[in-house]
A and B are shown apart, each in its own frame.
Chain A
Amino acid sequence: DARVTQTPRHKVTEMGQEVTMRCQPILGHNTVFWYRQTMMQGLELLAYFRNRAPLDDSGMPKDRFSAEMPDATLATLKIQPSEPRDSAVYFCASGLDAGRDYGYTFGSGTRLTVV
């Protein structure tokens, strides 16, 4: 079964530290999303890429968050400096183009706790 792999699964860090989350999309998928899940906001889109080019990062706090795709097999989401309000589950999802017939495939998420 093809799947989206996210690392680490859990991360606890102190406020002010840098956090990097990684995602390996499904081979052949050209669209990659970063979502954040919180109790208050549900699933929010942070950023997404098509063919490694950023298409939309309007959901991301620009001063502290950055998202990149160094190559087709790796997407990263970085927070620097981290704050307690960043505590959430961060999901990566991948798909082929618009994925309208079958949706997008999500990874299992990275649970981030900033203390």
Chain B
Amino acid sequence: DQQVKQNSPSLSVQEGRISILNCDYTNSMFDYFLWYKKYPAEGPTFLISISSIKDKNEDGRFTVFLNKSAKHLSLHIVPSQPGDSAVYFCAASAWGGSEKLVFGKGTKLTVNP
């Protein structure tokens, strides 16, 4: 049973436009969420995170939005650049004894020049 779901396996956008990657979760115990970016033949690299006490966190071109009632989060990239082309993983963890990250299956983003 997948607790973290990324329903879009792939997304293609034009350079300069906004990329929106979505993630849904089912476990109401999750209270911390992270996005990782992964290039081929490399490990995932941490991108941005958000705690459940917030509904938005911003870092440069990357913004993560959290809607707790809908159990949904999204990553916005503005403006998108060709170097952003990668697989993006959403991950979640629950405080209180377990810091392990539960990952979604990833969304492959392609930014076209």
Add 20 more A-B contacts to A33-B101, A104-B101 (CB < 8 A): A4-B43, A42-B89, A42-B105, A43-B106, A44-B103, A45-B100, A45-B101, A56-B100, A93-B43, A97-B99, A98-B93, A98-B99, A100-B93, A102-B46, A102-B49, A103-B34, A103-B49, A106-B36, A106-B45, A109-B42
Docked-complex contact A100 and B99, CB < 8 angstroms: yes
Interface residues of A toward B: which range? 20 to 34
- Taking residues whose C-beta sits less than 8 angstroms from the other chain, chain B's interface range is 20 to 34
Q: Total A-B residue pairs with C-beta atoms closer than 8 Å?
A: 59
B102 touches A45 (CB 8 A): yes
| Residues of A with C-beta under 8 A to B34 | 103
The reply on A82 being an interface residue by CB < 8 A is no
Give the dominant DSSP class at B's interface.
Answer: strand
Query: Which residue, A31, A42, A103, has most C-beta atoms of chain B within 10 A?
Result: A103
Residues of B within 8 A of A (CB): 32, 34, 36, 41-46, 49, 51, 89, 91, 93, 95, 98-106
Residues of B close to A97: CB separation below 8 A: 99
- Across the interface, B41 reaches (CB within 8 A) one of A31, A48, A106, A108, namely A108
